Structure 1
Amino acid sequence: MDLTIPSGVEEFLNRAGWLGAKIEPLPGDASFRRYFRVRLGDKAAMLMHAPPPNEDPQPFLRAAKWLDANGMRAPRILAERAEDGFVLIEDFGAVRMREYLDSWPQDEDEVYRAAIDALLQLRQLPPGPFTDYSLAEYQREAKLFIDWYVPARNLYIDGKGWAAAWEDVLAPLIVRQRPGMTVLRDYHAENVMLLGGLDRQGLLDFQDALVGHPAYDLVSLLQDARRDVSPELEARMLEYYLKKTGEGNEFIADYARLGAQRNAKIVGIFVRLWKRDGKPRYLDYIPRVWALLERDLAHPALAPVAAWFDANIPAELRAAGGGAFAV
C-alpha cells in the first residue's frame, strides 16, 4: 500500500477547516484514485485524491450531488478542489456489505434484498444528467476482451465477427432500455456500505454513471466479480426483482445479455490491470468471472456470441475458466 501523502493535501484540509487532522492511507482500488481517512478529534471524513490527468473528480462530484439531491445515500461533499483532484467526503464508516456478509452469511437474503430495494428506488427517479449507455459504448467495453485477454493468450481470432455478434445480441436491448435509468455501473458488495442497519445502503464508486438499462446494476450485484454469489441466491434475488417490477422474459434475456457483456469486459480489464498496471492479483478473479460468462452464454439470447466463443476460444481454456496465467 502506498503510504505517501499527496503534495498539497495539508493546505487543502486546512482551508476546509480540518487543520491538524490525522491522515491515514487506505488500501487502493483498481484505478489511479487514492483514499485516506481523515480524523480530527471525534470527527472523521474521507479524502479522495483523483489527480489529473489520469483521473478527474468532476464526474464523481456531479453524480454524488445528483444522487444526494434525489434521496439516494451518496457521501455528502464536505470540500472540493477538483483542479488538484482533492475531494473531502462524508465517512460512511467501516461496515461494508462484503465484510458484513463474510461474518454474517445467514443475513445474505436480507442484505441483498435491501441492495435491490435501493436499485428499485433509483429506478423510480427520472434519468440523471448523464450520457446514454450507447451501443458504441457497450461495444467499446466488450472489445476489452479481445484487446487484452486474446493477445495475452496468443490467440488468433475473428475480430470483425466479435463486433458483429455483439451488435446482433445488443441491438434489441438498446430499444428496450429507453428512456433509461441512472446506472451506477459498479454496484456490488464492495461498493455498498451498511449505514446503521441492513436496509440502509451507502453508495460508492459511481463516478462512471450513465443512463442505461435497469438490468445492468442488478447483474453487477448478482454476478459479482469479487464475491461468490451462489446460483440459488442469484435466482431468488432475480425473482424478487421481477415480482417487484412485473418484468418478464425479455428482462431476463437482457439480464443475460448484459451479464455476458459485463463479464467479458471484466476479463479484459483484469488482464489489463496485470499487463499494463502491474496488478496481477486481479487474475485470481478471472475463473469466477469466466464461470459467470459461461452461464450467461448459455441463454438463447446470446447465441451469436456463444457461437463466436465456440469458434475462437479453445475448449481447454474455457474448461479451465480462462486458464492460468504465468505471472
Structure 2
Amino acid sequence: MSDQRTHDRHAFLAETDWADAQFIPLTGDASARRYFRTHSQHPAILMDAPPQTCGSLKPFVDMAQYLSALGLSAPQIFASDLQSGFLVLEDFGDDDFASLIDRDASLENSYYFSAIDVIHNVLDADPAQVANYDIPQLASACDLAFLHYTPQPATIMNEALTAIEDALAPFQTELRTSLRDFHAQNLHWLSKRAGVARVGLLDFQDAVNTLPSYDLVSLLRDVRREVSDDFAQSARETFAKRRGLDHDAFQNEFHLVAVQRNLRILGIFARLSQQMGKPHYVDLIPRVWRLLQADLKHPPLAKLRAQLNAILTEPDHAHLERLRQPCLTQ
C-alpha cells in the first residue's frame, strides 16, 4: 500500500469512532480490495477499496441496504467515505461456513440448507436495482476461458460462445437477484440471531439479476471446498420442489449454469495469475476443471462437451506452470 493510501486511511479513521484503534491487515480476496480488523472496544472491519482500481463502493452499500430490508444479515456500515473508497463494517468474526464445517462435518447439511433458505428469501423478493446478467451476457462472459485459460482465435471463441448461448436459451425466464459469490467462505454463522438472519453475508457487491439457479450453483459447485454429489443432488431436488420447478428441466439448467460459471472461473484464475501476480489461484484450477467435466457429463450436454473439450487444454503440469508465469505482453 502506498504512503498516500495509508495517509488517506488514517485521515478517514480520524473522523470516526475508530480514530485510535489499531487495525491489523487480513488476508485479501481476488480483488484489489484490502481488509483490516480491530479488536478495540468497538470491533470492526475496515474495507479499503481504492476507486481507481476497485470501482465505486456504492453497489456494496446499496446491496447491504437491500439485503437488510429483507431481514437478512449484511454487515452494518458504521462509517463510510465512498469518494475515497473506505468503509467501517460490522465484524462477523471468523466462523465462516467452510471453517465451521471443517471442524465439525455434521454441521454441513444444516448450514447449507440455511444458506439455501437465504437464496429462496432473495428469489421471493422484488429484484434489486442491479445490472442484468441475462443469457447472452452469461454466454459472452465465458470468453475469459478462451482469452486467458486456453487462448483461441476469435472465430473459434465466438463459435463456442454461440454454442453456450444456444444451450442456455431454453432456460430464459424472469431474472431474479443473485449475490453471485455465494459460497461457504462468504457465509458466516451468527448463532445469536434467528431464522435467515443467522447467515451473515459477505462479498455481494457484484450482485446481478440473472437465472434463479445461479446462487445455488455457486453454493454447491464451490471451487474451494468439496460438496458431496449426494448432498448436491438432494439440495437440487428440494430446491426445485420448493419453487415448483420441473425436476428434469431444472437439473439441465443447473448443470449448464455450472458449466458457464466454471468456464468463466478458469479464465479468471488464469488472469489473476498472469496479469495480477496471484499465481496461487492456479492451484485451484484442477478442481475447477473436475467440476466442469462433471457437469459436462450430464447427457444433454454431450454435444457441448465435445466442442469445449476439443479447444480447452487439460490442466496438466505443463499447462499449470505456463499459467503461473506472468504475461509479458500486459
What's the TM-score, normalizing by structure 2? 0.89
Gaps of 5+ in 2: 325-330
Gaps of 5+ in 1: none
Work out the CA distance in 1 between the residues paired with 2:218 and 2:67.
19
Work out the CA distance in 1 between the residues paired with 2:223 and 2:6.
30
Work out the CA distance in 2 between the residues paired with 1:231 and 1:295.
10
* SS in structure 2 at match of 1:37: strand
Using the TM superposition, give the Cα deviation of residue 71 of structure 1 relative to its aligned residue in structure 2, in angstroms: 1.3
Matched, 1:325 2:325: no
Matched, 1:194 2:193: no
Kept in 1, the 8 Å contact 2:139–2:162? The answer is: no
Using the TM superposition, give the Cα deviation of residue 303 of structure 1 relative to its aligned residue in structure 2, in angstroms: 3.9
* SS in structure 2 at match of 1:190: helix
Q: 2:304 — aligned with what?
A: 305
Work out the CA distance in 1 between the residues paired with 2:97 and 2:107.
11
Matched, 1:232 2:227: no
Q: 1:294 — aligned with what?
A: 293
Q: 1:243 — aligned with what?
A: 241
1:83-102 deviation per Cα after TM superposition (whole angstroms, max 9, x unaligned):
11001111111111111111
Using the TM superposition, give the Cα deviation of residue 135 of structure 1 relative to its aligned residue in structure 2, in angstroms: 2.9
Q: 1:7 — aligned with what?
A: 7
Using the TM superposition, give the Cα deviation of residue 197 of structure 1 relative to its aligned residue in structure 2, in angstroms: 6.1
Kept in 1, the 8 Å contact 2:134–2:211? The answer is: no
Q: Aligned AA for 2:244? A: G
Q: CA RMSD in A?
A: 2.3
Q: 1:215 — aligned with what?
A: 213
1:192-246 deviation per Cα after TM superposition (whole angstroms, max 9, x unaligned):
0111169610000000001111110000000001111121221122222223223
Q: 2:279 — aligned with what?
A: 280
Using the TM superposition, give the Cα deviation of residue 134 of structure 1 relative to its aligned residue in structure 2, in angstroms: 2.2
* SS in structure 2 at match of 1:7: helix
Work out the CA distance in 2 between the residues paired with 1:149 and 1:77.
37
Work out the CA distance in 1 between the residues paired with 2:68 and 2:303.
41
Judging changes above 3 Å, is the alpha-carbon distance between structure 1 residues 139 and 7 closer, same or farther for their aligned structure 2 residues?
farther
Q: Aligned AA for 2:158? A: K
Q: 1:181 — aligned with what?
A: 176
Work out the CA distance in 1 between the residues paired with 2:317 and 2:294.
12
Work out the CA distance in 2 between the residues paired with 1:132 and 1:104.
38
* Residues 2-41 of structure 1 mapped to structure 2, 5 A cutoff: 6-41=6-41
Q: 1:119 — aligned with what?
A: 119
Judging changes above 3 Å, is the alpha-carbon distance between structure 1 residues 156 and 19 closer, same or farther for their aligned structure 2 residues?
closer
Q: 2:328 — aligned with what?
A: none
Percent identity over the alignment is 37
Using the TM superposition, give the Cα deviation of residue 323 of structure 1 relative to its aligned residue in structure 2, in angstroms: 5.3
Work out the CA distance in 1 between the residues paired with 2:67 and 2:77.
12
Using the TM superposition, give the Cα deviation of residue 322 of structure 1 relative to its aligned residue in structure 2, in angstroms: 9.9
* SS in structure 1 at match of 2:231: helix
